[in-house]
Amino acid sequence: MNDINVWGLTEKEIDTTKYSLNATLFALGNGYIGTRGNFEEGLELEEYDGTFINGFYDYYDLSYGEKYKGYPSRSHAMLNVTNGKKIDIYINGELFNVEKGTTKDYIREINFRKGVLTRKLTWISPRGDEISFESERLISFYEKHLLLSKVKITPINFDGSIKIISSINGNVKNITKENDPRIGVEFNGDELRVIKSSIDDNIGKIISRTKSSDLGLVCVMSNRLDCTGECSTSYTEYNELVSHTYDVKAMKNEPIILQKYVLYKTYKYVEDNIEKITSDNLIILLKEVMDNGYKFYKCKQKDYLDEFWYNSDISIDGDDSVQQGVRFNMYHLLQSVGRDGLTNISAKGLTGEGYEGHYFWDTEIYILPFFIYTNPDIAKELVEYRYNLLEAARKRGKEMQYDKGALYPWRTINGEECSAYFPAGTAQYHINADIAYSICKYIEASEDEDFLVEKGVEILVETARLWLEIGQFNDDGKFHICCVTGPDEYTAIVNNNVYTNFMAANNLKNAYEAVIFLKNKYPLKYRELADNLNIDEVEINKFHEAYINIYIPYDEDKKIYPQDDSFFQKPAWDFEKSKGKYPLLMHYHPINIYRAQVCKQADLILLEFILNDLFDDKQKKRDYDYYEKITTHDSSLSTCIFSIMANELGYYHKAYDYFIHSVRTDIDDIHNNTTAGVHTANMAGTWMSIIFGFGGMREEKGMLRFSPHLPEKWTSYSFRISFKGRKILVSVDEKGVEYKLLNGDPIVIYNKEEKLELKR
């Protein structure tokens, strides 16, 4: 599709068979707005366009053959919102369309350092009129409500008429359910309804309202045209679309430049005039951004990205395709992540409608480490999001008939559970422990004690309480947790999933220690929390008793951990019979998969990475050798973990093979579903594969340890880590490793077993 552009993605020919895929790859976003990389003028073959607002959703009813207590009655999904990209162009009455006429000198590029999507081409109409066309698009990191476009049209061989129609279109729909359950939603097409539209005095406005969720959206547009020829303008409001039309008497070799400013703002119905307040404020902002101008925001875009890449970049010498893939993945993570404490990052980011825009455990286990160790300010907003949904998690716990504690939803946007299939949804209670774990990792790396005191302890206590609700002490004196599903979704509703039990113990331990810390250092805050949550010594001691007595199944004959109590009692999966039938869930009934020893993704192997210091090298090797043979990697979350652990065990060739599978998953469309959106967890997993895999970084007892390895195909690589207010540069080449403290106070780290003190 492209040359190897290590700081961007380049397309040098139009391949209409890959148009929808490339709409994902060339998508833009800023964590609030996201829009797919469709052409401004569109194509007739277009499968679907898409513009999304993080956290903007509507409800739909869930239907069941048999509905039981605790089943969610409704789900919600991210909406496709008002299209602000559309610009139609007529050349002497002929519609500019690259599917017709002749296109040459085509190039499209997204630049990761500038944050701008550009397209250039020469087009010859069916009648022979030739133009040069250039476009730019950016979604501002500086002003989160702003989508900016610029097009430049230059007649090459004629004087004549050029008409430009700049529109915002509120008549949009989501894609609906297909045979693939991972794509589409059960909407009827009227979830986002235009209630007002107008255009006057160069301000176009569409106000829309959701059908069920009481959310509103205001979209406003203004345009600026620069040309030398005569120009007349007109406004149109028709069928949920408002347009500004320019009729230009074009002259050969004289460019016509249109700048388009579009703003989006959502609101919740909390008072009668909130719609007017939002609309008025947005128009004030529109006038401000028009005054600032296009160049201002283009410069601010680069300034923002300069800082991001200083904090985050991984430099690789020796493989340009890998270098491109790594930066592509990090750039999309930045474009997709919410930064307001109220929104998160979905499995597909803001690039498509796969998985309905829902947030999963992916954030905590895969994505948060990237932000914790590169951009801790963004990481804080992600943990704030979970705190802001704590009350909804308590409510969900009550719906599931638990007296105490919070149960975080498996998939959600607003805190309500959206999973209609409980064996691979609600039963994955490990999400509670995943959230608790990630909060502790954030606090350890950032030393944000204020967050721990004000919010973190509360989350740890409420998540820990749930384990006491669903687990029990058996006659053996051990604490058992039954009827859960671990990370591996091909093994459901089991007793004592090893990952879940270890992570639950970690949750209970951290909750116990956090309460003791609060009681000793902040007694007034402890008393306030104890009163609000009705905490007493008996309950806190139960946390301690449960975690030190957690039951962990182990096979003494094999000297490996079964994934759960019954895993080794199941027959081996017939991999010969299932050749070419992947992912298995698309070819086999779930119950047939559940009955066999087969894994969709890393489960026990993920645990041995996360809680690394609890397992010795021999144990990790035995487990890895066993589970690698029975794991299909049908989930994009899997190969990065197997790469990390292969590096730790010295399986360097395997590590690199798994890494290569991860690093270009979306660019090369390895899972054949990137048209529905990128795989954000895998993207972060690529970063983890380098930092924790090849770099061998581990955090142990509040200190960083590195055990770097240089892949055979690379001559060097380097990365930066933010840790406890310091920034550390790690550089690895054929000669060895070098550590530099770029800012902050001196710090002690370890290179394998060697203790080093870094000073500036």
Binding region for substrate:
361-362, 600-601
Helix (H, G, I), strand (E, B) or coil at 306: helix
Residue 181's nearest CA partner among 356, 359, 2 is 356
What phi and psi values does residue 117 have, to the nearest 5 degrees? -100, 125
Pairing state between β 116-124 and 130-139: antiparallel
Q: In angstroms, rounded to a whole number, what is the distance separating the alpha carbons of residues 753 and 537? A: 40
d(C-alpha 154, C-alpha 664), whole Å: 37
- CB crowding 113-129: b at 16 or more within 10 Å, else e: bbbbbbbebebbbeeeb
Nearest of 274, 277, 264, 272 to residue 217 by alpha carbon? 264
Q: Of the candidates 163, 190, 170, which has an alpha carbon nearest to the alpha carbon of residue 238?
A: 170
- Measured CA to CA, the distance from residue 207 to residue 670 in angstroms comes to 39
Helices (H), 123-211: none
Does residue 11 have an active-site annotation?
A: no
Q: Which residues of 173-201 are buried (b: 16+ CB within 10 A; e: fewer)?
A: ebbeeeeeebbbbebeeebbebeebebee
Question: In DSSP terms, which residues pair with 479 in a beta bridge?
Answer: 473, 550
Known binding-site residues equal 361-362, 600-601
Return the amino acid letter for 658. Y
**Dist CA 251 CA 150 (whole Å):** 20
* Cα 470 from chain centre: 30
Angle 336-42-253 (CA atoms, 0-180°, nearest 5)? Answer: 110
C-alpha to C-alpha distance for 691 and 146, rounded to whole angstroms: 34
Continuous H helices in 697-744: none
Q: Are 139 and 116 in contact (CB under 8 A)?
A: no
Tell me 40's DSSP state: S
The gap between the terminal CA atoms of the chain, to the nearest Å, is 44
DSSP string, 215-227: EEEEEEEEEEEE-
Examine residue 72 and say whether the peptide bond preceding it is cis (omega within 30 degrees of 0): no
Beta strands in 298-340 (DSSP E): 314-317
CB atoms within 10 A of CB 647: 26
Nearest one of 359, 368, 482 to 429, comparing CA atoms: 482
Token digits of residue 722: 């933010």
Q: Which neighbouring-strand residues pair with 755?
A: 750
CA atoms of 49 and 80, how far apart (whole Å): 9
The whole-angstrom separation of Cα 568 and Cα 587 is 24
Contact 363, 345 (CB under 8 A): yes
Select which of 489, 539, 628, 648 is catalytic: 489
Catalytic residue numbers, as ranges: 489
